[in-house]
Every structure is written in C-alpha cells, then in structure tokens.
Amino acid sequence: MKVKVISRSADEFTRERSKDLQKVFHNFDPSLRPQEKAVEYVRAVNAAKLDKIFARPFVGAMEGHIDAVSSMAKNPNRLKGIFSGSMDGDIRLWDIASRRTVCQFPGHQGAVRGLTVSTDGQVLVSCGTDCTVRLWNVPKATGSESNGSSENSSKPLAVYVWKNAFWGVDHQWDGELFATAGAQLDVWNHNRSNPINSFEWGSDTVNSVRFNPGEPNLLATSGSDRSITLYDLRMSTPTRKIIMRTKTNAISWNPMEPMNFTAANEDCNCYSYDARKLQEAKCVHKDHVSAVMDIDYSPTGREFVTGSYDRTVRIFKYNGGHSREIYHTKRMQRVFCVKFSCDATYVLSGSDDTNLRLWKANASEQLGVVLPRERRKHEYHEAVKNRYKHLPEVKRIDRHRHLPKAVYKASVLRRTMNDAERRKEERRKAHSAPGTSTSEPLRKRRIIAEME
C-alpha cells in the first residue's frame, strides 16, 4: 500500500530568529472562509463609520485681509502658493504650508476683481474696479518662503489704465495673452498697454472669462445678459452664445476633457455643457440653496468644487447630479471664490469674512507620509464600502452630513416648492389633450436660446 500523511516540521512554519519576520502562509480557498459576504458587509459598515470618525476636513484659515476676499489665483508652476485679492485692493501671496503671507502687492485703489498668473509663473496679472490692469513680478520661491516673518511688498511691473472697470481676468494656459472682462472682452499682450483685440456681442458687461486648457485660442465668458459666449481668438467675431434664464457667475473648463465646461449659475445650480453641443446641458448639478459664486475643477477632471452665497463649499463629481461633500463653518460667511489645489488634495475658499480657508478634498484622508500597509488598508476600506454602499445601513452612514439650520430649512423649502411645481405640471398634462403638452428636461429648460 502507498500511504502519505500530512506532516509539518515546525522549523518550516516558524521563524528562526527573533529578528526575522513571522512567516505567513496563504490559502485562498473559499471553503476555509464561511460567510465571507456577511463578514464583508460588517467590514463595510465599520469602514463607513470609521470614515465619519476621521472626517476632519478643515485644515486651517489664513487671516490677514481686512476686507472680503474677492478673487484667488493659483500658480501653475508652484504647489505651495496662492494669490488672493480683496475688496479693498490688497493682493497677497500666501504660503499654504505655514498659512502666512509671503508677499503683498499693494497698489489697487478699488476691489480686486480678477487675478491670474502667466504660463511660466513669473508674472501676476490683476485687474480691478479702478479700471487698471497691473502686472507684478512673482517673487522667487527660494528663501522667501522659509522666513515667514518678513513680509515683502513689491512694486508693479506695469500698470495699464483703461476706460472701464474690469470684472475678471484669465491667462492662456499655454501662451502669452490674457483676457479681461469688463464692458467688453479685451485680449492683451504683456508688453502692450492697450488691448490687442476686443470682442463684443450685445451691450452688456462681461462678468467672467476663462481660457480653455486644451485649445489655447478658445475661451468662454459669461455676461450679465444671462449669456455664456464662446470666442475663438483666431476669428474676429465671437463664435457661439447661449442665453439662459439666470446669470452665470463663473465658468470652469474641465482640464481632462477640455471640450466640457461647467457654469455656476445664480439659480443655485451648476450646468455642465459640451462646448460642441450647446443646445442642452450635459448635466445639472443641484444641491446649493443660494447663488453659486465660483467654481473650479480638480486637476484630475473628475470633481469640481463650488462656493456659494449660502455660506457652504460643495464638492461635486464631474457627472454627478448631487454633491459628494459639503463644508461649512459658523465663521465662514458668503463664499466668493474657491480653488482646487494643483495636487487635488486641498480646496481653498475665500469668503466674506476676510479669511481664506484650507480644506481637505477628501475629508477622512490621512495626510502626510502614508505607509504602504496603511495605504492598502485605506484602499481596502474604500473598496469594501463601495461594494456595499447601496445597502441601507451603509448608505445611511455614508450619506449623513450635518447641515447648518438655514441651509437645511432652505433645502426643505426648495424641495416642497419643486414638488408642488412638478405635481401641478403633471396635473396640467393629465388634464390636457394627450400629446399637446410636452415636458422638457431640466437640462434644456433653463436655456432660452442659442445663437451663432
């Protein structure tokens, strides 16, 4: 007969010396692990709860301005700095790590409405209600950020005075031109004191302007005639315009899908459009309860952050109808500008209460150096939570956010109003002859007209 029996020698399965690692053996057979789905479900519930325990998104506030923060700009070449301009003309460069002012740029007489940095990161362009465009030299990174105590102030490189107040400015992502929004759209070169080109469609002011990240000659503006206009610098006239029911406060292009842009509107929604097909919005992002003031995309192109007049900052998925995260503080008043940091980890908000606030983009993320084991643990928690996130217990824990009472009440009110509107619409349809009344989707309903 042939016989063999399981025999294990202890030295094969235990470590030799105490400084060796313990030996680990794997057998992935599912029969050794009964009820693995139930175990995964319990882990998903625990992961959701842990997420909530570690969700501390507020990192810090940067104080220094003495009036509301009206605009911000990020330097595409440097991660640690942010420029902010306030309503009294004060422009500061902040070091985000130490949350201190590195450099001040005094000079503007009125509110600073727009800030932008040139492609190489050397020149800061600012414009304001005092009808001037000022160009400044950005101080070098070495040395100046380490000694945070000394605050330098620099003199402007150039001051260009023009005929009317400016509302916004943006620089090409890859070029030498920048555009300002005022009574009309002006395109400037750094060296010329007059704009090299001017576009106008209609007689209303242009509120904001944004260059396309992919196509250097394409830009989008929003005007106070509730329109969004697309321009191509190579042509002499603007290309396309859509008029909506309410004014758009800000626009941001998706850096990963440069044909899409999202517009932050006064009617508390954000509308994502495909620039080639402007008849209807791609997606409507609804969650704010008051006008959305500013919007910025994450460099991954998968999320964007919005700041609104209702004192909250929300983060949306690029194709999601509702926000994934909301940030609010008692001390933060109306949010006028938001920026997503260039490494997609932080979100900055500038608000009415003269502070810039730094938040984490993922509220329960562990910052700093993450060991490989920790990283795997976080990834596992994320994956197991996503697998069971449709189950009621996990969903309830994951979705729960505390809202300020005003926002909660306002959202309840909006919901009842919307429900009433919808019910009336349904009854109108039911009581009219079949086929006469057609319902338009919300993506189309808010657009009045499209023009070429």
Partner 1 sequence: MSEEQKDTPPTDTQPGMSKELDAKVKKYLRGDGINLEVVKDKKLKGQLAVREELYGKSASVAANAEKWLLPSEGGYLEAEGIEKTWKIRQEAITQDVGISSQKNQFDIVLQDLGPYTIDFTPSGRYMAAAGRKGHLALLDMNSLNLIREMQVRETVRDICFLHNEMFFAAAQKKYPYIYNRDGIELHCLKEHGAVLKMQFLRNHFLLSTINKLGQLHYQDVTTGLMVNNYRTGMGRTDVMQVNPYNGVVALGHSGGTVTMWKPTHTSPLIKMLCHHGPVSALAFHPNGHLMATAGTERRIKLWDLRKFDVVQTLHGHASTLEFSQKGLLATSSGSRVEILGNFSNPNKYKRYMSHSMAKGYRIKKVLFRPYEDVLGIGHSMGWSSIIIPGSGEPNFDTWVANPFETAKQRREKEVRSLLDKLPPETIMLNPSKIGTVRPFSKKEKPSKKERESEMEAAIADVKDAPMKKKTKGRSKPSKVANKKQEGIVRAKRPFLDEQMKEEEAIAKKKQKLAEEAELPKSLQRFARKQAT
Indicate the residue among 41 and 58 with the shorter CB distance to partner 1: 41
Contact 340, 305 (CB under 8 A): yes
Indicate the residue among 5 and 53 with the shorter CB distance to partner 1: 5
Indicate the residue among 7 and 236 with the shorter CB distance to partner 1: 7
CA distance 328 to 312: 5
Indicate the residue among 33 and 415 with the shorter CB distance to partner 1: 33
Contact 351, 339 (CB under 8 A): no
Indicate the residue among 35 and 142 with the shorter CB distance to partner 1: 35
Indicate the residue among 331 and 429 with the shorter CB distance to partner 1: 429
Contact 296, 340 (CB under 8 A): yes
**Minimal CA–CA distance to 206: which of 184, 179, 227?**
184
What angle in degrees, to the nearest 10, is found between the helix axes of 372-387 and 36-53?
110
Report, in Å, the least distance between residue 10 CB and partner 1: 7
Report, in Å, the least distance between residue 43 CB and partner 1: 6
DSSP letter for each residue of 275-323: TTB-SS-SEEEE--SS-EEEEEE-TTSSEEEEEETTS-EEEEETT-SSE
φ, ψ of residue 194 to 5 degrees: the values are: -120, 150
Report, in Å, the least distance between residue 369 CB and partner 1: 24
Contact 180, 186 (CB under 8 A): yes
CA distance 364 to 341: 17
Partners of residue 156 on adjacent β-strands: 136
Contact 397, 45 (CB under 8 A): yes
What angle in degrees, to the nearest 10, is found between the helix axes of 36-53 and 392-399?
10
Report, in Å, the least distance between residue 434 CB and partner 1: 8
φ, ψ of residue 169 to 5 degrees: the values are: -145, 150
Q: Kind and range of the H or E element at 374?
A: helix 372-387
Task: Report the Cα–Cα distance between both ends of the chain, in Å, rounded.
Answer: 92
Residues in the chain: 452
- Establish how many alpha carbons lie within 13 A of residue 200's alpha carbon, considering only the half-sphere containing its beta carbon: 8
Report, in Å, the least distance between residue 77 CB and partner 1: 35
Report, in Å, the least distance between residue 398 CB and partner 1: 15
∠ CA 259-205-265, nearest 5°, is 50
Report, in Å, the least distance between residue 31 CB and partner 1: 6
Tokens of 250: 């800000």
Report, in Å, the least distance between residue 25 CB and partner 1: 5
Indicate the residue among 28 and 449 with the shorter CB distance to partner 1: 28
Indicate the residue among 12 and 452 with the shorter CB distance to partner 1: 12
Report, in Å, the least distance between residue 86 CB and partner 1: 44
Measure the CA dihedral 399/266/356/285, to 10°. Answer: 30
Binding site for partner 1 (CB under 8 A): 1-10, 12-14, 22-35, 37-43, 46, 387-388, 391, 430-431, 434
Indicate the residue among 190 and 377 with the shorter CB distance to partner 1: 377
Indicate the residue among 38 and 53 with the shorter CB distance to partner 1: 38
Report, in Å, the least distance between residue 363 CB and partner 1: 23
Report, in Å, the least distance between residue 440 CB and partner 1: 21
Indicate the residue among 2 and 17 with the shorter CB distance to partner 1: 2
Tokens of 396: 């309830």
